[in-house]
Structure 1
């Protein structure tokens, strides 16, 4: 049986099992009437019954059927900058009071904004934030894997087999960003040859270090000096780097400059990956349809991008993508299984998650470290400690010292299980000479266990390891202070961060905002939020930063302030999501105020309530009107 059909039947079985517990047989038959996996029409599997999707495959391929969800990043990154500045100015007619304890320093531009001149592994472009941070994801490795696959780099055998830093990469890493072209000219004058393999390997090594500015300068130098004749992969790489450094709008302009003969599937899927990265639903769907219209081969990578997108914004649409894969006989990759396992795990569908793993193995594949980490984490969250431990021990192997590379994955999961001895055992292996990522994992782990001194010691180790810490490094300890409501220590850490000269990025702003929210100082958190918005960096604040403040106002029953945060999120480029409406409705309930027109607002935003939200809507519907029934139909 083809893999693309096997995985769908697994979904049918797991969904059928859940329905037998929570839905009527009539509802189940209604969803199953169209397809084996049309059960994806249930949002998050327990969100309540919605209409069957009808001709899902046909809708997926039609130009109109896809456009029923607004983009949460409908503007380019450069346009988001305008939204951000307006958001800061439009919410109040008065200037914010100066923050206490030196927090007004956060508004000052950093006096150090250039790239490091060192090749240390942790010193990536400090004026660029990784795509994973913008989307709120914590695992940078998945993002790297995705972008390299988009460019076809994962198929370059020479690149994969080269663990050592190339001579060209060493020259670039040792140079300031402003002198990359000069250093490369000198490198050639010294008799070094510029080959396609050397350039590909160097580009790969710059990317995994997140040196996007230098990578872009390398690409520009190679083309301007005509050392190599550009192929489609070279153009795709340039487009991807432009999107990262200058924003989506500039990347779109560059696409028009690429010779038509080189505007192939790799170039378009690279642009698609960048649209998905910033959760631009409208443009992602439009480009997906254009790829079909241009009659490029429909690849699993392209479908995976849509799965990633809908995993974030609309899980019931995953059915559309899976049905298309079935129709086109597209074989799932290990990354496809990884996405679907995450969807199942996030929905606490442990049985479904396990069935996906069995299907993966039946296809001759083995779970990689990313999948193993996800399984262990979801088992831990579900209280299945024995199963989580079995996965973790399998990852460790017989000798953890020989599998040192998994230590940073193990630390947070052992901490989530509450096993302090295991965290101490793993950290003892790393502590004498820790990698930066191991220090970050240790900070998180000790923070979960409320061992603050240990987390601080791991942070000190991190500062010893890196020559130029970024705000992402400070944010790791800031999160520990926020989770433990230690505002005084958080205040001191922010001062250290500012004094270090590193640029404050969204992940760090998020940690500072949550520090004060969790300490009960929501007004100070809002002041920090507004100051962060005024920073004209073109990088949007994290969704969770706004939502944490909104939730605090909701708990207080402060409808006016909660509505203001809702508006700020719109101005920042975020479209409405279910979580926002849940928080906002909670504010109305706590204020004992009727939410007139709330159902209509949700309809306008294409947001459909789950069972929990539907029951709350009834509480605030002053006249108990029937439109709620219409909304659920």
Structure 2
């Protein structure tokens, strides 16, 4: 992307806000430190930010809990006269919720509703999960009542996820089953939404039954389905079965499993002090291209701690992968270092 951008400049093409947004989107995913450079370039080229530019910046600030920084972006946007849409407001509200600013979030949700939610129905599918994040069941019900008599597919999906997040499994199931009265067949994403509800609530039997139903109904099992099945089996204490399902289904469906699927297995083996299987899953993560992430190294080290076994050459392994220890990993390395007499493994486990 950088090469294409620079080539466009060399060829004399004007720097557009679209091109800038693509760079921001890239750096938001891979290297947030470079965002400041892109913004400086934007100012130098006198390119005005679009609503999408502000969305990216707000989401980037909010993701690291920089609420003050997020609010400054919003102020800049308002000063430029750029009007927020519902999704922009939802992004701000979501970050307020996760940062613990409930009152600020509620004020935005009230603004999103407008004076009459029935006349502003498009907001319902966006508001449903936000009220669920806040744990406001009555408001989730209120949003759903606007849609329930004549629901749209995206509203149903939002309702299943929202009721599930509140732990109201029966309500989520009812939304799912009622859909068949309007649509005779459903795509796999609706089954996946209910499967995730079962996984989050640790409803093993219901999850297995839904998986069989998906197969009977001809639904393709996606990576999110596999992730939920892994979570169900791990929660039921059947980690070996979970690992088997992960490999068989991802291979037969020719899919790359989610990072979280492997992490659940690694976490479980780690807590058991099962070094062999922890190393095996760690190696599978690398084979799948999931390297360069600190969390997997931390879990692998935990396996050695729980097994009360020293580990050799781990710093070198991390260095080879360009991973640098954080404070947690540093303490684990000290605990598993066979030459460190100051802190024993037993000390770490007490």
Query: Hey, which of these two has a bigger chunk of helix by percent?
Result: 2
Tell me how far apart the structure 1 counterparts of residues 181 and 144 of structure 2 sit (CA, whole Å).
16
Aligned to 2:313: 597
Give the 3-state SS of the residue equivalent to 1:423 in structure 2: helix
8 Å CA contact 1:376–1:392 kept in 2: the answer is yes
8 Å CA contact 2:221–2:253 kept in 1: the answer is no
- What TM-score do you get using the length of structure 1 for normalisation? 0.51
Offset at 1:290?
4.7
Tell me how far apart the structure 2 counterparts of residues 310 and 587 of structure 1 sit (CA, whole Å).
33
8 Å CA contact 1:479–1:515 kept in 2: the answer is no
Aligned to 2:299: 583
Which residue of 52, 56, 59 maps to 1:335? Answer: 52
Tell me how far apart the structure 2 counterparts of residues 380 and 370 of structure 1 sit (CA, whole Å).
15
1:387 aligns with 2:104: yes
Tell me how far apart the structure 2 counterparts of residues 598 and 300 of structure 1 sit (CA, whole Å).
45
Which residue of 320, 338, 359 maps to 2:76? Answer: 359
Query: 1:585-622 CA distances to partner (integer Å, 9 max, x unpaired)?
Result: 33333333334333333332233344444444433344
Aligned to 1:446: 163
Offset at 1:549?
2.0
1:322 aligns with 2:39: yes
Offset at 1:309?
2.9
1:345 aligns with 2:62: yes
What is the count of residue pairs matched by the alignment? 341
1:516 aligns with 2:240: no
Change (3 A) 1:392 1:575: same
Which residue of 137, 142, 146 maps to 1:420? Answer: 137
Tell me how far apart the structure 1 counterparts of residues 314 and 14 of structure 2 sit (CA, whole Å).
44
Aligned to 2:181: 464
The 5-angstrom pairing of residues 131-146 of structure 1 reads: none
8 Å CA contact 1:450–1:484 kept in 2: the answer is yes
Give the 3-state SS of the residue equivalent to 1:472 in structure 2: helix
Query: 1:264-294 CA distances to partner (integer Å, 9 max, x unpaired)?
Result: xxxxxxxxxxxxxxxxxxxx45545554555
8 Å CA contact 1:407–1:426 kept in 2: the answer is yes
Change (3 A) 1:531 1:371: same
The 5-angstrom pairing of residues 142-221 of structure 1 reads: none
Change (3 A) 1:564 1:444: same
Change (3 A) 1:597 1:303: farther
Aligned to 1:432: 149
Give the 3-state SS of the residue equivalent to 1:573 in structure 2: coil
Which residue of 326, 335, 340 maps to 1:619? Answer: 335
The 5-angstrom pairing of residues 221-620 of structure 1 reads: 284-292=1-9, 294-537=11-254, 539-620=255-336
Tell me how far apart the structure 2 counterparts of residues 317 and 611 of structure 1 sit (CA, whole Å).
25
Change (3 A) 1:304 1:604: farther
Query: 1:225-275 CA distances to partner (integer Å, 9 max, x unpaired)?
Result: xxxxxxxxxxxxxxxxxxxxxxxxxxxxxxxxxxxxxxxxxxxxxxxxxxx
Tell me how far apart the structure 1 counterparts of residues 42 and 75 of structure 2 sit (CA, whole Å).
20
Q: 5+ unaligned residues in a row in structure 2: which ranges?
A: 341-350
8 Å CA contact 2:223–2:250 kept in 1: the answer is no
Tell me how far apart the structure 2 counterparts of residues 336 and 469 of structure 1 sit (CA, whole Å).
35
Offset at 1:578?
2.6
Tell me how far apart the structure 2 counterparts of residues 303 and 588 of structure 1 sit (CA, whole Å).
46
Tell me how far apart the structure 2 counterparts of residues 289 and 591 of structure 1 sit (CA, whole Å).
52
Tell me how far apart the structure 2 counterparts of residues 392 and 519 of structure 1 sit (CA, whole Å).
38
Offset at 1:346?
1.5
8 Å CA contact 1:439–1:461 kept in 2: the answer is no
Offset at 1:295?
4.9
**RMSD after superposition:** 2.4
Query: 1:477-515 CA distances to partner (integer Å, 9 max, x unpaired)?
Result: 011100111000000000110000121122222222222
Change (3 A) 1:306 1:413: same
Tell me how far apart the structure 2 counterparts of residues 297 and 623 of structure 1 sit (CA, whole Å).
60
8 Å CA contact 1:357–1:367 kept in 2: the answer is no
Tell me how far apart the structure 2 counterparts of residues 320 and 385 of structure 1 sit (CA, whole Å).
33
